[in-house]
Structure 1
Amino acid sequence: MSSASPLDVARDFCAGFGPTYEDAVATCRKLLHTDVSWRSVTSDDRPVESLAAVLDDLRRAREIMGAEGFGIDVHRIRADGDLVLMRRTDTILDAEGDLLHALDVMSMLRVVDGKIVWSRECFFDSRTFDEAWGA
């Protein structure tokens, strides 16, 4: 059981999700529950219902898009109990550190005992990401 607040966990997740692929994987392993439910417009047809599935998506992003780095820039963040709402920009970078995609995102997380147990995301414009992802 963690004494970190849901807001702290969400901030730590965003700060640790990059700059490298390996950082993103380590942060997921540290802060996501093994049975995490992670949904977004890019996963409607393929629900992500475990840490293993999130890590598989990261691996696929690496293979399909050439994603070698990530960043999350939080613009607004608020918590109410175990729920955290944030507006952020996610960036996906290639091996040279060049921008592959920048995604404007609204996200709601639920944090229990220091782990993210679910996330719901809405991308303001996911078309280019969907095309790159092969969706």
Structure 2
Amino acid sequence: MSTASPIDVARDFCANFGPTHGDAVTTCKRLVHPEVNWQSFIFNDCPVESLDALLDDLRRAREVMGAEGFSIDVHRVQAEGNVVLMHRTDKILDAEGKLLDTLDMMSMLRIEDGKIVWSRDCFFDSRKLTDAWSS
């Protein structure tokens, strides 16, 4: 059982989800529950329902978009019990560290025993991500 607060787990996730693809994978393995339910409003019809599926999405982002690195800037964060709400900006980088995309979003996480068990992401400009994934 983790003694970290839900807000600390969310901040840890964001701080360590990069700069490399490997860092993102390691952070997910450390802080995401094996049976996570991760959903965005872009992909309502195909939620991620396990850590393995989330790691597969990271692999796909690497193959489809050339995503080799990430950075997450947290602008606002608030917690109520085990639920954390964040306004954040995610940056996706290529192998040279050049910016591929910037995603401004609201993210809600539910944390239990130091692991993210549930997540919902709402992107302010969802067309950008939809276009990137369809290439």
Tell me the TM-score normalised to structure 1 length. Answer: 0.98
Residue 128 of structure 1, CA deviation: 1.8
Aligned residues: 135
Aligned counterpart, 2:26: 26
Aligned counterpart, 2:15: 15
Tell me the TM-score normalised to structure 2 length. Answer: 0.98
CA deviation vs aligned residue, 1:16-45 (integer Å, no higher than 9, x gap): 100000000000000000000000023212
Give unmatched runs, 5+ long, in structure 2: none
Structure 1 runs, 4 residues or longer, greater than 2 Å off: none
Give unmatched runs, 5+ long, in structure 1: none
Aligned counterpart, 1:78: 78
CA deviation vs aligned residue, 1:24-70 (integer Å, no higher than 9, x gap): 00000000000000000232121100000000000000000000000
CA contact (8 A) 2:36 2:118 kept: yes
Give the % identical residues.
Answer: 69
2: distance between equivalents of 1:112 and 1:47? 19
- Secondary structure at the counterpart of residue 109 of structure 1: strand
CA contact (8 A) 2:2 2:114 kept: yes
1: distance between equivalents of 2:126 and 2:92? 13
Matches within 5 A, 1:84-123: 84-123=84-123
1: distance between equivalents of 2:81 and 2:128? 34
